[in-house]
Chains A and B, each alone.
Chain A
Amino acid sequence: MYTFQKIRSFLFYVSVFLFFAGLPFILTFALGYKFNTHSLKFVKTGLIFVKTQPVGAKIYLNGKLITEKSPASMQELLPGTYKVTLELAQHYPWKADVEVEAGKVSRVDKVILFPMRPNLEQLNQEKFSLFRIDIEKKLIYYLDQDKKVVYRSSLDANNFEDIASLPDKFAQITGWEISPDKRKFFIFNQHQINVIFFDNQGDYEYPVSPVFLEYPQDKINDVFWHSDSYHLVVMTDKNIQVIESRQGALPINLVELNKGGPEAFYDTKEDVLYFSDSQRSIDGSFYNNLYKLELSANLYLLERLITQPFGQGKEAQKEQVGE
């Protein structure tokens, strides 16, 4: 028992000694101090923390390779500017001058090392003019104006299939968009809109033959799908209209515009059109206003609009959302 107690006492005093002897070093290290053996003084240092994506990059500090690879920290650095170079095989190197301050961490932790040969992959197998990506269904839609065809594939470029034909007489497509229900799409140019159903997507409600909508007097700037996948919101150089995507439909004029080609954004989720239009001030100069036009699914709204004569109620319908 006595021997055990002697050993225990020895261990206890060793532990106490280790604590009091080690603690100053631990704390000075933690606070960023370094003991200078030449001057026999503590010097406050800083550190650089390097983290890259991908990890494992070689780190050069002032041209000297350090043993650790990223992520790594270089501690006990005297304050000053350091040249940091990060190198990873087959990736573009990264270089920067990093300022180190006493007692502080200089973080170089948002470095992305881009590959020299990026993972570039060609997805299309044939020529195309325009494309659309459906992230939700992981599909790519290609539109080929020369062959007058729309085809699609999966996101990883498999399962190619033709899904629609474009009309022969439709010239110079300005834009296109697939309907929210993914059953059809429109193409448009300056004076025409053409709604085309994908193959085998028609049902009793809608015709499967293309729907042509003509705008001989106006210039079409942009077209959007309403969330019901039936109405189109058309922005011309003169007004904003809604029109049903059926043959012979008549447009409803919602807003008359002052400016020829306003900017616009359509929120399909909420059925809200944001657009800018110009207005003349008292001194004769023009300035822009931003408007919000709500078109939410709301047939009653459309019905109400239909009952109003064209061009009326512009002031009532424009809602100013910003100066």
Chain B
Amino acid sequence: MNKALFYKRALEIIPGGLSWGIIIVLIALSFLHPVSSAIIIISFDFYWIIRTVYLTTLLVMAHHRLFRQRNEDWLTRCQDLSADLGFSQLYQVVIFPVYNEGLEVLRPSLAALSAIRYPKDKLIVVMAFEERNIHAHDNALILEEEFSSRFGAYLSTFHPDGLPGESRTKGANATWSAKAARKFLDKRKIAYEQVVISCFDADTCVDKEYFGCLSYHFLTSEKKHQASYQPMPVYNNNIWQAPSFARLVEISSSFCQMIESMRLEKFVTFSSHSMSFKTLVEIDYWPTNMISDDSVIYWKGYLHYNGDYRVIPLYVTVSLDVAYSSNIWRTMVVQYKQKRRWAWGVENFPFVVKGFMANKNIPLINKIRRSFHLLESHVTWAVWAVILVVIGPLPIFFGGAFFSQMAIAYNLPKITGLLFKFTLYTSLTWIFLSWTILPPRPKGISWLKHVFLILEWIFVPFIILIIGSTPAIDAQTRLMLGRYMEFNPTLKGNKVL
């Protein structure tokens, strides 16, 4: 094994090794030294109570910002900007990488895009199909006919299968289409500095104010090319039709993203996002062989600009589909696979650390801090539910007669109970906030659904058990064992699949 491969494998093993190490040690301690195990569990419970309260407060703040900026007239604000900032020369390239999504998914996305409040002549839409998709050309023609006249320019690209050095990932397709857009811009002699590119999931329906908000932040930000711009993803497209399980998971995902938007030092691009086209070209586009292209693109920028790169949150929503299927079991599988793909973002850790080792210009403290944040977030994801739900009760059950007589054995379930009470109180906040971000109730859906939407939160412990930590453990174990995941997009659609 050569040195480079050794470092690569070592870095791939670290997250999974740490997660498994924590789980195994805690389980072993529950049998061998239950008092130590109980002390660790109580410490973790207390940490989790404080963390839950802290994060819920951040969520409330993010929600407040989202609502405060909800009715902002961003387009007018852009038009009011000084002419020097160049709003009138600004172009928007919008890429929709299409894997195998059909017209029922793509049409609403383009319809939402054509309904935005923004000069459409400045909009260059790129529908990025995969050549291997047998319906790609037919769908491209239909969509061109329906939508091409509504935008400044409309391109359909077809990414060839099996290019050297590429995997079957969304990033490879997005990169191919971005290069096509580059040729288009060159042909029109449009400077890259005047172009913002947005890479949207195929089911992304943008808010009417999205591009106004994006342009305003892009034009007014310091070092605007050294930033990515991240909207708030909400899963509202089919939320009224989705089953409880899937709806709750996606609402929680939206909230997590809103919370992250308040932690700028950790904030990383996720799902649909935007950035300077100039920067995209300079950092050589999205990765073509990694699944988590949405976050890797941020790290590429961070490494390229020697740590002087950031993500600017945009408090405007983009709406996506809730992933679900025809029955609860298949929905759980779909959700599990989606979360596992998200958790595969752990592949960023070896990528980032290798990048840090090669880059001598990023301050060491920043390298340590960012590596730690990245590692800590993935390890916590993999172990938190296991510790709270599975390992928490173990000392009581397996501690033996001697342990059961000890004061700590009596106090452990009391403190764990306190944790769940706190979680319940914070859940009330989450329930209320989730209600406020719901889209209007469609016709044909009873008002009783509102009641059900509140009551369904009782399923949260069950959901935590199913997909709290297991997708992350799964992803980290695969990375640890060198069993690399292939891109497997979540089946989505407004209809039940």
Contact = CB atoms under 8 A, between A and B. Distances in A.
B4 to A, nearest CB: 38
B38 interface: yes
B47 A104 contact: no
B28 interface: no
B50 interface: yes
B85 to A, nearest CB: 19
Contacts of B51: 15
B61 A73 contact: no
Interface residues of A, number: 27
Given A15-B51, A27-B39, A104 B46 contact: no
B57 interface: yes
Interface string B32-47: 0000001100110011
Interface stretch (B173-181, B317-325, B407-415): B407-415
Contact of A26 (B46, B53, B406): B46
A29 B50 contact: no
B263 A30 contact: no
A249 interface: no
A250 interface: no
Contact of B46 (A19, A49, A105): A19
Contacts of A265: none
A191 interface: no
A112 interface: no
A103 interface: yes
Contacts, number: 68
A30 B47 contact: no
A34 to B, nearest CB: 11
Contact of A15 (B39, B50, B61, B405): B50
Nearest to B402: A104
Interface stretch (A3-11, A61-69, A204-212): A3-11
Given A11-B58, A19-B46, A27-B43, A4 B65 contact: yes
B262 interface: yes
Interface residues of B, number: 27
Interface in A89-105: 103-105
Contacts of B42: 26-27, 30
A23 B51 CA distance: 13
A11 B57 contact: yes
A12 B54 CA distance: 7
B53 A105 contact: no
Contacts of B65: 4
Contacts of B410: 47, 49, 73, 105
A105 B409 contact: yes
Nearest to B409: A105
Interface in B44-89: 46-47, 50-51, 53-54, 57-58, 61, 65
A104 B409 CA distance: 9
Given A4-B61, A11-B58, A105 B405 contact: yes
A5 B313 CA distance: 12
A19 B39 contact: no
B50 A105 contact: no
B493 to A, nearest CB: 36
Nearest to B47: A19
22 contacts: A4-B65, A4-B262, A23-B43, A29-B411, A30-B38, A30-B42, A30-B412, A30-B415, A31-B39, A31-B407, A31-B408, A45-B407, A73-B410, A103-B406, A103-B407, A103-B408, A104-B406, A105-B405, A105-B406, A105-B407, A105-B409, A105-B410
